[in-house]
């Protein structure tokens, strides 16, 4: 029997993210949690999928960010993973770069795929605040509806 995963949700405004940054820092140190980041949008403002959506690129209706600190292995810690599922389609990273939302230079792009989304790897021990900032800005830019800066950070216990 699988045990139920423990999740802690923090609702916050993008300009007041200190509690989320502190929780990410603790998770990076302890390697015991990972983060899903979602914008909060009223149900009546969500985009309605087209009847042809099943033939489209896939992905979530609204962007979803992930941040997963690497686990400790015998050969050392794995890199941190920063991911972004989005409804934009192709070349999301190129679009984000064009509008000035650039990943830190130490990050390595592993995927920019229509269905799998964007995945970067960051060095172990990399600062968490730039990761959160990049995710918040990227989610806001790639959202098909205007966002008001409210987000839900869901910390999942490993």
Q: What is the pLDDT of residue 59?
A: 60
Residue 143: closest CA among 57, 36, 59: 59
What share of residues in the chain are helix, strand, coil (percent, to 5)? 25, 30, 45
Q: List average pLDDT for each run of 10 residues in the chain, which is 158 residues long.
A: 81 97 96 96 73 55 94 87 88 95 96 89 93 98 94 96
Q: How far apart are CA 90 and CA 86, in angstroms?
A: 10
For residue 98, the model assigns a pLDDT of 97
Q: How far is 96 from 101, CA to CA, in rounded Å?
A: 5
Q: Domain boundaries in the chain?
A: 7-41+57-157
Record the pTM: 0.89
pLDDT of 83 reads: 96
DSSP β-ladder status, 33-39 and 7-13: unpaired
Read off the tokens for 63. Answer: 């962007």
Identify the pLDDT of residue 74: 87
The pLDDT score that the predictor gives to residue 76 is 82
**What are the helix and strand counts (H, E) for the chain?**
3, 9
d(CA 157, CA 32): 6
Give the pLDDT score at 2.
Answer: 62
Phi, psi of 120 (to 5 degrees): -115, 155
């Amino acid at each position: 029997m699988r045990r139920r995963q423990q999740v802690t949700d923090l609702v916050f405004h993008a300009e007041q993210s200190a509690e989320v940054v502190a929780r990410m820092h603790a998770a990076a140190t302890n390697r015991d949690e990972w983060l899903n980041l979602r914008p909060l949008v009223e149900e009546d403002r969500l985009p309605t999928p087209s009847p042809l959506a099943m033939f489209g690129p896939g992905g979530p209706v609204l962007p979803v960010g992930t941040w997963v600190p690497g686990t400790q292995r015998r050969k050392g810690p794995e890199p941190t993973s920063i991911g972004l599922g989005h409804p934009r389609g192709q070349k999301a990273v190129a679009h984000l770069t064009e509008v000035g939302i650039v990943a830190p230079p130490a990050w390595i792009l592993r995927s920019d795929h229509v269905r799998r989304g964007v995945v970067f790897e960051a060095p172990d021990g990399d600062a968490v605040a730039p990761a959160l900032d990049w995710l918040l800005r990227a989610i806001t830019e790639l959202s098909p509806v205007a966002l008001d800066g409210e987000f839900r950070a869901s910390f999942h216990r490993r």
